[in-house]
Amino acid sequence: MNGKRVQTGRYFMMGNVACAEGALAAGCEFSAGYPITPATEVANRLAERLPQVGGAFFQMEDEISAIAAVVGASWAGKKSMTVTSGPGISLMLENIGFAIGVETPCVIVNVQRGAPTTGMPTVGVQGDMVQAKRGSHGDYEIIALCPSSPQEMFDHTVIAFNYAERYRTPVFILSDAFVGHMREEVVIPEPEKIKTEYRKIPEPGTDPQKIKGFLDEDVAPMPIFGRGFKAHVTSSCHDEYGKRNLIDISALDNFIRKLSNKILKHKEEITLIERDYEGAEIVLVSYGAVARAAAMAAAQGRKEGIPVGTLRLITVWPFPGEEIEKMARGAKHVIVLENNLGQIYPYIKAEAAHDAEVSFLPPRLVGEIQDPEDILRKIREVSK
């Protein structure tokens, strides 16, 4: 290792390590976390690599303080991230809501494991999919990306930082133990080929009283600390200037709607989808590690002459319902595949069921990825 921020080259690399390298390539300067299987390799790599480029990783007393420190560092102007698994996310949820409420760019990597509760740490399960969207209290929108390979652990981490900075919001990487621990080829491009973004900030010297630093659907400039902006940052209901308002319901309505609309207004730019369903009557919808099995089964099905295709969600949140609806219009059967008991399935069904038959195929055992043979059997069954 040469100590450079971007380790350009071709590697045989673990997904979790690729995630850490993606963070560095995106410009991450600060990370805080707490040890947890199966996410530790990300933290270990960041602890080794960040100080080499002037940043640092800190092991905190718990996940609550980890996300708090990340939010604090982001307000200090640093690109920041944390990494954990389901139990850690459960502890972070209150402060994730805080980060959303005061519009803080940061990246949260969840390498999902067997759950509920302490569950089975080394097994990959897509068990926290809805938690990312609905776990913290109140109405809010979140951005979540689902990588399915070590290469995407790198690529999606870079995208996650860019989205976080562009929309001033926490962005989830919803990986799992399979993708995190998988080793495959990872290509890290030249630094100038990696697009990185940084948040808008107010013009230096702007009169602090005139800075509208919050609640703009087109993303307000962030009055980061230490620049004389005299920012009043409170997670209590506030107005565009950051001024607390705890008495006027219309202020609360504005607070909720602006935060949500900031994400929803830009849904099209945020949505990343892989579509391979042209002319298909049967469409397999999946994300993450499961999408690999879906692609394999679809290829096999087509060899057998069955018109089967795939739709893979990369952006799961905000939920790209319009894309599902559009796909379903041309399909007869939609088969949803997830490595859980059907977390995104109801969302997909709500959009697709008007035009197509929608069914759910779980793995034989939760914690296994669907066997392509099982998927193929299901494809043959619905194609009859």
Backbone dihedral region of 272: left (phi > 0), alpha (psi from -120 to 50 degrees) or beta? beta
Dihedral of CA atoms 270, 171, 166, 225 in degrees, nearest 10, equals 170
d(CA 357, CA 178): 30
94 counts as binding other proteins under rule CB under 8 A = yes
Q: Which of 32, 43, 222, 291 binds other proteins (CB under 8 A)?
A: 32
**Among residues 49 and 267, whose Cβ is nearest to other proteins?**
49
Structure tokens at 134: 């609905």
Binding to other proteins in span 222-261, by CB under 8 A: 225-226, 228-236, 241, 243-244
Choices 28-36, 119-127, 295-303, 329-337 (CB under 8 A): range interacting with other proteins: 28-36
Q: Distance between CA atoms of 300 and 290, rounded to whole angstroms?
A: 16
Residues between 43 and 62 with contacts to other proteins, criterion CB under 8 A: 48, 51-52, 54, 56, 58, 60-62
Nearer to other proteins, 118 or 236 (CB): 236
Nearer to other proteins, 86 or 242 (CB): 242
Q: Give CA–CA dist 349/356, Å, rounded.
A: 9
Q: Which member of 71, 173, 219, 313 binds other proteins (CB under 8 A)? A: 71
173 binds other proteins (CB under 8 A): no
Of 259 and 311, CB closest to other proteins: 259
136 part of the interface to other proteins, by CB under 8 A: no
Q: Between residues 5 and 292, which has the closer beta carbon with respect to other proteins?
A: 5
> Which helix (H) or strand (E) segment is 167 a member of?
helix 150-167
Supply the minimum distance, in Å, between the C-beta of residue 96 and other proteins. Answer: 10
What residues contact 104, with CB distance under 8 A and at least 6 apart?
A: 71, 74, 75, 98, 168, 169, 170
d(CA 234, CA 218): 20
**Segment 335-374, which members bind other proteins (CB under 8 A)?**
none
Chain position carrying tokens 């296994």: 368
3-class DSSP state of 99: helix
Residues within the interface to other proteins (CB under 8 A): 1-3, 29-30, 32, 48, 51-52, 54, 56, 58, 60-62, 64-65, 68-78, 80, 94-95, 98, 102, 208-209, 225-226, 228-236, 241, 243-244
